[in-house]
């Protein structure tokens, strides 16, 4: 991205609009809304633009554009519909170092005008870098519908309390949390009819009842889901945007990490199968230390933290240290990967139960009590079994699972580089060895895997022979 979003003060600034049609009218109104003094250059004017002249809000030059018209201008907009004139305005403005916008031609622009949602003094700007203005307007409409009309009133009232709150609550961290709590509740509960007095009473009550800042913070153990950032829960997203520090596993995708509050400290702690940057005991100690400093700590884990995420151990450590904590569930890898492979984990005709097991033991072996798992009417989901797939397949077959039992290995499920390898317990290990998928990967075993061929969409290769579905190769099927 090479367009830096910025807000500029145009109060009483002289701005030039070249053009007299409907587009020029729209741009002129936008500039006037932010306090600019607008000069319009055009031989003829749109009727509504001419009315603005009568109100004394706009100055009109009824002749062709000339370079001296840019003198003392804060910015210029070319909206003539004539590419030759627009280019001349752009080249002249750039030579004079006056920022210029040419409507519908980003190559001639120094700045672009976004779609704007205004709740003065709150302004939300949405831009597509000029590539898809209709999309930007659609997003604007969605935001417009979400933000209460009284939001600007709330912002003004909150601004009038800043000095008092700063005097009453000296700690910057405690002060930020006070505003998060008060304003978060106000926005969540506001409609359109709240007055400034309503908001003043609300903030006064919160200020008078605010207790002394606690010496200890809190830890949120948050599930980041299988990779796709859109699969985060709303609660997880809200917490990520309020965090002071985030301790994250390697399995957490970059798209999810981009949603963390920019000012928050990010600490990678590893926790990928076989590769740990930090021992679990050290992670536990770090969480306790950070929370004891009054920080809001997020322990961010791939998938669901309570399913093979060692979250239970961390909860115990926090409880022993007297640190308050909360667990926020996430979509586990089994659900995410099954959806990616079009495999239902249960089905009335094929599987009446589903079992999750860990294919990688604490000791590094695969000494799992396989006899406990039935071979009939059951789906088996094996986490962290990629490096032991051959031995897992062998162990299952020794304990009664037929060698032709359908099996699928999904690597990087829900992510752009996902791979779905489908076969049987007998041949899947060889397919995996040949294709060499990378972790994280999850194994699904059972008759439900056969539904993959029927349920996957036709464009993704339905009714094709067993093989590989690879997102990196546009989901083209290949014989395994």
* Catalytic entry in 88, 271, 295, 301: 271
Instruction: Quote the CA–CA distance of 353 and 121 in Å, as a whole number.
Output: 56
* Catalytic entry in 228, 244, 249, 340: 249
Strand-strand pairing, 478-479 and 441-445: unpaired
3-state secondary structure 176-221: HHHHHHHHHHHHHHCCCCCCHHHHHHHHHHHHHHCCCCCCCCEEEE
Residue 48 preceded by cis peptide, ω within 30 = no
- Pick from 270, 422, 391, 243: nearest CA to 326: 243
For CA atoms 406, 412, 416, 418, the dihedral sign is negative
37-41 β-sheet, strand order? 58-61, 37-41, 14-18, 75-78, 100-102
Is position 271 annotated as part of the catalytic site?
A: yes
Instruction: Quote the CA–CA distance of 294 and 268 in Å, as a whole number.
Output: 20
Encoded tokens for 149: 């009309």
For CA atoms 454, 456, 458, 463, the dihedral sign is negative
Instruction: Quote the CA–CA distance of 61 and 73 in Å, as a whole number.
Output: 15
- Pick from 417, 360, 349, 367: nearest CA to 385: 360
Which residues are identified as catalytic? Answer: 249, 271
């Amino acid at each position: 991205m090479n367009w830096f979003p910025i807000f500029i003060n145009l109060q009483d600034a002289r701005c030039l609009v070249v053009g007299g049609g409907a587009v020029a009218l729209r741009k002129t109104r936008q500039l006037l809304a932010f306090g600019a003094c607008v000069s319009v250059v055009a031989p003829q004017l749109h009727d509504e633009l001419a009315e603005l002249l009568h109100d004394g809000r706009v100055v009109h030059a009824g002749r062709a554009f000339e370079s001296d018209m840019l003198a003392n201008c804060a910015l210029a907009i070319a909206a003539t519909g004539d590419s030759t004139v627009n280019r001349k305005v752009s080249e002249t403005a750039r030579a004079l170092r006056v920022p210029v916008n040419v409507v519908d031609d980003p190559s001639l622009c120094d700045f672009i005008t976004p779609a704007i949602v205004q709740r003065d003094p709150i302004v939300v700007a949405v831009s597509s870098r000029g590539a898809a203005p209709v999309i930007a307007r659609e997003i604007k409409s969605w935001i417009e519908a979400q933000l209460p009309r009284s939001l600007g009133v709330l912002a003004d009232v909150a601004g009038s309390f800043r000095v008092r709150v700063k005097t009453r609550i000296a700690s910057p961290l405690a002060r930020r949390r006070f505003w998060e709590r008060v304003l978060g509740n106000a926005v969540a509960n506001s409609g359109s009819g709240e007055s400034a007095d309503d908001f003043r009473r609300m903030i006064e009550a919160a200020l008078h009842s605010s207790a002394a800042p606690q010496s200890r913070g809190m830890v949120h153990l948050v599930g980041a889901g299988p990779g796709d950032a859109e699969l985060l829960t709303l609660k997880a997203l809200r917490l990520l945007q309020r965090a002071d520090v985030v301790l994250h596993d390697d399995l957490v995708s970059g798209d999810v990490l981009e949603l963390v509050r920019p000012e928050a400290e990010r600490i990678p702690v590893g926790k990928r199968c076989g590769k740990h940057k930090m021992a679990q005991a050290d992670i536990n100690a770090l969480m306790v230390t950070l929370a004891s400093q009054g920080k809001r700590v997020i322990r961010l884990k791939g998938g669901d933290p309570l399913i093979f995420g060692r979250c239970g151990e961390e909860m115990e450590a926090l409880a022993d240290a007297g640190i308050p904590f909360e667990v926020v569930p996430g979509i586990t890898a089994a659900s995410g990967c099954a959806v990616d492979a079009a495999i239902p984990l249960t089905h009335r005709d094929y599987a009446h139960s589903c079992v999750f097991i860990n294919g990688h033991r604490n000791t590094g072996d695969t000494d799992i009590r396989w006899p406990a798992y039935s071979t009939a009417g059951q789906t088996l989901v094996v986490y962290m079994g990629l490096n032991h797939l051959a031995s897992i397949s062998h162990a299952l077959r020794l304990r009664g699972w037929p060698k032709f039992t359908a099996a699928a290995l999904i690597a990087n499920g829900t992510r752009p580089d996902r791979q779905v390898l489908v076969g049987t317990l007998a041949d899947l290990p060889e397919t995996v060895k040949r294709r060499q998928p990378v972790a994280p990967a999850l194994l699904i075993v059972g008759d439900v895997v056969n539904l993959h061929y029927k349920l996957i969409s036709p464009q993704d290769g339905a009714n094709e022979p067993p093989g590989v579905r690879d997102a990196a190769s546009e989901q083209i099927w290949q014989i395994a």
